Amino acid sequence: MTARDAILGAIRAAAVPPASAAPALTAPAATAGSPDMHEEFLRVLGTVGGRGVVRRADQSLDQALAALLGDDRDGAVIVRGRFAVAENAAVYVDAADLEARTQVVLPEHLVLVVPFDAMVPTMHEAVRLMPATSACGWFLSGPSKTADIEQALVVGAQGSRTLRVIFDVA
C-alpha cells in the first residue's frame, strides 16, 4: 500500500462527522466603514516599522519617491503592489509583476507603489482579491524584522531593511 492510500484510508476510517464551514465573517461596520482607511493603513504601517505617503496632486511619482527615499534611493527596488489592507498595513504583491520573486525580500530598500483606490479594510476582503491564477503572491507588512534576541525589536533581519509604500493617485 502506498503512503497516500494508507493515510487517506486512515482518515476515512476515522469517520469524522460532518462539521459546517466557518461562518462568513466581515469586519464590523466600525472598521469597514472607517472614513479614512488610508489613515489607518499609514498608522499601522508606522507601528510595524514601515513608512508611507499618499502622492500629492502636485507631485510626480518621481518627486514623491525622491522625497520618501532620500539617501536610500540607491539600493531601492520599486515594485507594484496590487492592493492594500487597512487593518494590518499589508500590501499584496504578485509574482506576475516582478522580474524575480526575490525582489520582495532581497533589496535593502523596498518600495511598494499601490493605486490609491485599491484598499480594503481587512484580510476577509483581501484574500478574495488574490488573483485566481497567481503563481506566488505576498502580503508584505513593514520591513523584515526579528525579536529573537531578548525580544528586542530589530528591523532588518534577513530581508529588506526598509519598506515604504506610496499610494499613487492614478
Partner 1 sequence: MNGGHPEAAATFLRDAPRAAWHDDSLWFMRERRDRATALPEWESLRTAGAALKAHAMSRLGELLEQFERQATANGVTVHWARDAAEHNSVVLGILQGAGATRVAKSKSMLTEECGLNPFLEASGIEVVDTDLGERIVQLAHEPPSHIVIPAIHWKKEEIGELFHRTMGTAKGESSPDALAAAARHHLRDALLHANAAITGANAIVAETGGVVVCTNEGNADLGMHSAPVHIACVGIEKVIATRDDLGVLLRILARSATGQPVTAYTTHVTSPRPGAAMHVVLVDNGRTARLADAEMRSALHCIRCGACLNTCPVYRRSGGYSYGHVIQGPIGAILAPAVDLSAHRSLPFASTLCGSCGDVCPVRIDIPAQLLAWRSRSAAAGTLPSGYATIFALLGRVLSSQGNFARTGRWGRRALRWIPAAWLSGRWNPWTRSGRELPLAPTESFRESMRREGRLP
- Which 88-147 residues touch partner 1, going by CB under 8 A? 88-90, 95, 100-102, 104-106, 122-128, 130, 132, 134-147
Q: Is 60 exposed, middle or buried (0-12, 13-18, 19+ CB in 10 A)?
A: exposed
Q: Which of residues 28-47 bind partner 1 (CB under 8 A)?
A: 28, 30-31, 44
Q: Taking the alpha carbons of 61, 64, 68, 74 in that order, is the dihedral positive or negative?
A: positive
**Per residue in 105-116, is it b (16+ CB within 10 Å) or e — as a string?**
eebebbbbbbee
Q: Which three cell numbers stand for residue 151?
A: 525580544
User: How far from 43 is each of 16, 29, 47, 59, CA to CA, in Å?
Assistant: 45, 19, 7, 22
Q: Is 142 exposed, middle or buried (0-12, 13-18, 19+ CB in 10 A)?
A: buried
Minimum CB–partner distance for residue 117 and partner 1 (Å) = 21
> Per rule CB under 8 A, is residue 67 in the interface with partner 1?
no
> With CB under 8 A as the contact rule, which of the stretches 55-63, 69-77, 85-93, 111-119 interacts with partner 1?
85-93
> Per rule CB under 8 A, is residue 170 in the interface with partner 1?
no
Angle among Cα 120, 106, 47 to the nearest 5 degrees reads: 45
> Per rule CB under 8 A, is residue 54 in the interface with partner 1?
no
> With CB under 8 A as the contact rule, which of the stretches 4-12, 56-64, 65-73, 74-82 interacts with partner 1?
4-12
Select 64 or 91, whichever has its Cβ closest to partner 1. 91
Minimum CB–partner distance for residue 129 and partner 1 (Å) = 10
Nearest to 84 by CA among 48, 145, 126: 126
Minimum CB–partner distance for residue 70 and partner 1 (Å) = 21
> Per rule CB under 8 A, is residue 165 in the interface with partner 1?
no
Minimum CB–partner distance for residue 164 and partner 1 (Å) = 14
Minimum CB–partner distance for residue 110 and partner 1 (Å) = 10
